[in-house]
Amino acid sequence: MTTDTASPVVDPEASAATPWIRVPIIAVALSLIVGIVLLAFAWPAVTASPHDLPVGIVGTSAQVEQMGDAVAEQSDGAIALTQYDDRDAAVKAIKERHAYGAIVLGATPTDAPEILKATAANAQVAQLMDGLSQQLQTQIDTQIRTTVESNLAAAQEKAAAAMQAAIQAALQGQAPQLPDASATTPISIPTVTVKVTDIVPFADTDSRGAGLASALFPIILGGMIGGIGLTTLLKGGGGRRIVGVVVYAAAAGLVLAGVLQGMFGALQGNYLLNSAALGLAIAAIASTITGLAGLIGPAGSGVGAAFMMLVANPLSAAAVPVEFIASPWGAIGQWLPPGAAATLIRNLSYFPDAAVANQWLLLGIWTIVGLALTWLNLPGRRLRAGVSHAEHPLTT
C-alpha cells in the first residue's frame, strides 16, 4: 500500500527574495554612493581657491619690484606677476590667454595706473582684478594725502618761522622782513584715478556669461545620451555603433550650436566652427562610453557615463579657472573631454588669437581611441566564438 505525500508548495517570490541580512548592507552602500556623488560635485567648488593666477605687469624694474611685493602680500599667493615690455604686449598676452589681466603702471607718480582685465576669460578673476584696482586706488590716495599733509606741515612751519622772525624784528625796532608772496609755491592736490579696461568683455547677448558657463552640461549630457543610447539600441557589431556615433555627433553639434548661438547668443564667432567643436566634444564623450562597452560589455557604458559626470565634469574648470582647482587635478581635467571642450568653446567664442590646437587634438584622440575600442567589441567576438555568459560574465 502506497501513501501519497503532498509535495511542498514553493513560493517563487519567496525563493527569489533578497536575504534580510543584505537589505541594510545594500541601503548603506547606496547611501555611500550618494555621498560620493555629492563629494564629486561639491569638492572642487568648496576647495576652489586662486593660486598663481598669471597676471601681467608693465613698468620699470623698481616699480615692478615694489608692486610685486605689495601684490604678494595682499593676494596671499593668488596672483603670479609676469613683466611685459609695454601695454601692447600685455594686451596680446591677455588675448592669447597667457594672462588673465595686467597692471600698467605710469611713467611718473602722477600718471594714472591702468588695470586690464578680460571678463570673458573668467568673471571671478575679473572681479579679483577690480578688487586689485580698488586696493591700488586706496594706496595712491593714501600716498597723495600723506604728501599733501607733509607739504602743508612744511609750509606751516615756514610761515611760523617767518612770522616769528617778523615779530622779533618789530620788537627790536627794525622793519620786519615780510615774505615775498610771489615766491610762495601753492600747494596742489593731484588727482590720480586708476583706470580699468575690459579687454575682452562678454557679448551683449550673454552679458554675464551665464550661457557660456552652462554650455558644458548639454555637451556632457549629449555625449552620455548618445553613448548609452547607441550601445543599447544598436546591435550587430561595433561598425554600426561607430557610424551611429559619427552621425549622432555631427547632427548634435549642429543642433546645440543652433540653440546656444542662434537662440541664446551664448556662443560667438563662426557657427560652423562652433558646431564642429561641439560635435567633436560629443563624439569624444560618446565614443568613450561605446568604447568601454566594446571592451567590458554593457556595464562599460555605465562606467564611462559615471566617469564623465562624476570625475571629468567637476575637473573641467568650466565655471572657475584651472588655477582655482587643487593641483594637479586642474591640469588633469584639461586632458579630459569636458575640460578640453570647455576651453575650446570659450576660446573660439572670445579669444580667436589663443592657441587651440591642443584642445582639437585631445578631443580627436579621445574620439579615435573610443571608436577603436568600439570596433574591437570583445563581448561580441566572444559571443560569436561560442563563449557563454557562464564561461565569461562579460560576454553579453
DSSP state of 202: P
Report the C-alpha gap between 100 and 3 in whole angstroms.
93
Cell of 28: 548603506
Question: Any idea which residue has 625796532 for its cell?
Answer: 173
Question: Any idea which residue has 599733501 for its cell?
Answer: 148
User: For residue 88, what pLDDT is reported?
Assistant: 95
User: For residue 149, what pLDDT is reported?
Assistant: 62
CB 94 within 8 A of CB 199: yes
Q: Looking at the DSSP assignment, which residues form a beta bridge with residue 115?
A: 103, 196
Report the C-alpha gap between 254 and 323 in whole angstroms.
32
CB 284 within 8 A of CB 223: yes
- Quick one: which of 69, 22, 95 has its CA closest to 355? 95
Q: Considering just the CA atoms, what is the radius of gyration of the chain in Å?
A: 34
Encoded amino acid at 311, one letter? V
Note the Cα 41 to chain centre separation in Å. 15
Cell of 359: 584642445
Sign of CA dihedral 30, 35, 36, 41: positive
Report the C-alpha gap between 278 and 337 in whole angstroms.
11
Cell of 258: 543652433
Q: Which residues, in sequence order, are CB contacts of 96 under 8 Å at separation 6+?
A: 351, 353, 354, 355
Report the C-alpha gap between 378 and 396 in whole angstroms.
10
Report the C-alpha gap between 325 and 215 in whole angstroms.
20
Sheet strands side by side (includes 114-117)? 79-83, 53-58, 101-104, 114-117, 195-198
User: For residue 234, what pLDDT is reported?
Assistant: 86
CB 219 within 8 A of CB 341: yes
**pLDDT one digit per residue (tens) for the chain, 396 residues:** 455 555 555 455 555 677 888 888 888 887 887 777 777 667 766 666 778 899 999 988 888 888 888 887 777 778 889 999 999 999 999 999 999 999 998 876 667 889 999 999 998 899 989 988 888 888 777 776 676 667 666 666 776 666 676 667 666 666 666 566 555 556 556 677 889 999 999 999 998 888 888 888 899 999 999 999 999 998 877 899 999 999 999 999 999 999 999 998 999 999 999 999 999 999 999 999 999 999 988 889 999 999 999 889 988 988 888 988 888 888 999 999 999 999 999 999 999 999 999 999 999 999 999 999 999 987 766 666 655 555 555 555
| Cβ neighbours of 137 (radius 10 Å) | 17
Which residues in 305-380 belong to E strands, given as ranges? none
Q: Which residues, in sequence order, are CB contacts of 78 under 8 Å at separation 6+?
A: 49, 50, 51, 52, 53, 128
Note the Cα 99 to chain centre separation in Å. 13
**DSSP three-state, residue 76:** coil
Cell of 160: 611760523
